[in-house]
Amino acid sequence: MAVPMFGRAIRMVYQEVNENKYVSNWIGEVFKDVETEKKRLISNRDLVRVRLEATDHKTDMVSDDVFLWLKEADILIPEVENLTLQVRRRQWNEFRKLLKKITTLNMKCDFQPFSIPIPSLEHFSSGNIVSFKSREKASDQLLVALQDDNSSIIGLYGRQGSGKTTLVKAMGEKVKFLKMFSKVVFATVSQNLNIRTMQEEIADSLDIRFDKNSEAGRARRIFSTIESMIRPILVIFDDVQVKFDPEDVGVPCKSNRCKILVTARCQQECDLMYCQRDVQLDPLSKEEAWILFEKHSGIHDEDCSSSPDLSNVAREVAFECEGVPRLIKDVASSLRNKPIDEWKASLDSLKHSMAKWQIFLSFRGEDTRYAFTGSLYQSLRQGGFKTFMDDGGLETGDQISPSLLNAIEASRLSIIVLSENYANSTWCLDELVKILECKKLKNQLVWPIFYKVDPSDIRHMRKCYGKDMARHENRFGNDSERVQKWKSALVEVCNLSGMAYSIGYVIYFCLLCSIIFILFEGLRIVKK
């Protein structure tokens, strides 16, 4: 019995050897196939990455299939490498599955399409935005900021009428198209802050029904809804003019479920909202302004070629709008099919209303800077008037600086605060001469304020004004042309209609501001 059992054992050993040999051969062949497909997959992945990097993401949106394929390839390649480190008989099935996965993935890398063109801003705004470089520049900067994980609050600022609201609404449609956000929520802030109104706008967009009526209860409901969303949303607070806390409305400020975009008229208002990134919306260039003006005025090159006067006036009108889209559209539309006389009248009005500075303050710094004039300046600014007041660091010599001369020429109204030591400063006297020249040559307005001084003392060079002018005569000479201009200017300004500082400060100040407002309304000056 021993011999047959020994023979059976020999046969079993022989059979096992053959089987192992077969397994080894099979694994060897499969291993070669896996290695070949793995190398092919690595090559395909690298090619896809190169193509992805070469894509201009400002103009083209890469297909989701590309990112899914890359993600799957990055998972599968390490899995193959780990499995081939230790070949065991129990890994037969794993090798079969891996080979099938790699082969299938290699067959899927011919993407159709790899990317699609991103429509222009014009498309996303339903034609309300012309795709100018200045708009595209702000759009690109906003897109980068919205993709930045470190920026939860982003600000877009620009002057009134520059098109901020139109741009952010278009951007809202664009980021939804790019699948960056699942929803875009819009709420208007303005100067009269109303938390409940903003909450209602947001709730309407998110299909929220409030079960509590208090602002705090509504805020909690909005907050919990946003935090529970699967994909992030974008909340746009439009026309921010006062500081507020978005969380009082119910919008989380530091959450991966939400980003906040605010629009404001100046960078300081963005700073009040603690924006991590600010984007400025620049005015249109002259070329862009003319294209937009042509579109809304109906004027064309052939019209201009037949009437050179109309051509010159039309372009001046377009450029006087200072690149503000809303003003360009309104002015252009109002002048459509109108006679050239109306174009000229509109041009004259624009030159006054769009002056860089509406009001120039001329004053003696040490007398009134931190009292009357400083308070006047703040009130005029708060009233919306573009007011020039030097910062106290401009007086570096006897001659008035070019910056002050330019500010005077660019203003519509000059307010001269004639205080006790006004004539002591050669700078103030040079300002006065320049102001009166602009009154004569540019039809500018001049309003003197006699601050604790008698106009007759100025006119007849008495008291402080007499002493100061005598000192200037000694320094520059009695017959100095400059001194003679100063004397003539002081006499002339005393003959202008103005106001004397003689009543209570608060009452006087309110009266002053009222007169200025009435004055500008009468001239149809646009406050910016």
Whether the per-residue pLDDT at 19 is higher than 60: the answer is: no
520 contacts 358 by C-beta, under 8 angstroms: yes
Nearest to 270 by CA among 348, 153, 358: 153
Structure tokens at 179: 């699948």
**Residue 417 identity (one-letter amino acid):** V
**Residue 110 identity (one-letter amino acid):** D
CA distance 97 to 93: 6
Please indicate, yes or no, whether the overall pTM of this predicted structure exceeds 0.85. no
DSSP state letter for 422: G
Q: Is the peptide bond before 113 cis (omega within 30 degrees of 0)?
A: yes
Non-local CB neighbours of 235 within 8 Å, separated by 6+ positions = 185, 187, 202, 246, 251, 258, 259, 260, 261
Average pLDDT over residues 56-71: 86
Beta 60-62 vs 115-117: how paired, if at all?
antiparallel
- Strongest mean pLDDT among 27-41, 320-334, 403-417, 493-507: 320-334
275 contacts 262 by C-beta, under 8 angstroms: yes
pLDDT band (50, 70, 90) for residue 460: very high
CA distance 152 to 411: 40
CA 69: distance to chain centroid? 37
426 contacts 398 by C-beta, under 8 angstroms: yes
In this prediction, residue 523 carries a pLDDT of: 45
Nearest to 486 by CA among 454, 458, 456, 462: 458
101 contacts 69 by C-beta, under 8 angstroms: no
DSSP state letter for 208: -
175 contacts 181 by C-beta, under 8 angstroms: yes
Instruction: Give per-residue pLDDT as tens, 389-407.
Output: 875 444 444 466 777 887 8
513 contacts 521 by C-beta, under 8 angstroms: no
In this prediction, residue 427 carries a pLDDT of: 87
Nearest to 162 by CA among 138, 193, 188, 190: 138
Question: Average model confidence (pLDDT) for the chain?
Answer: 82
In angstroms, what CA-CA distances link 305 with 328, 394, 398, 418?
Answer: 22, 47, 50, 52
- Strongest mean pLDDT among 107-121, 127-141, 149-163: 149-163
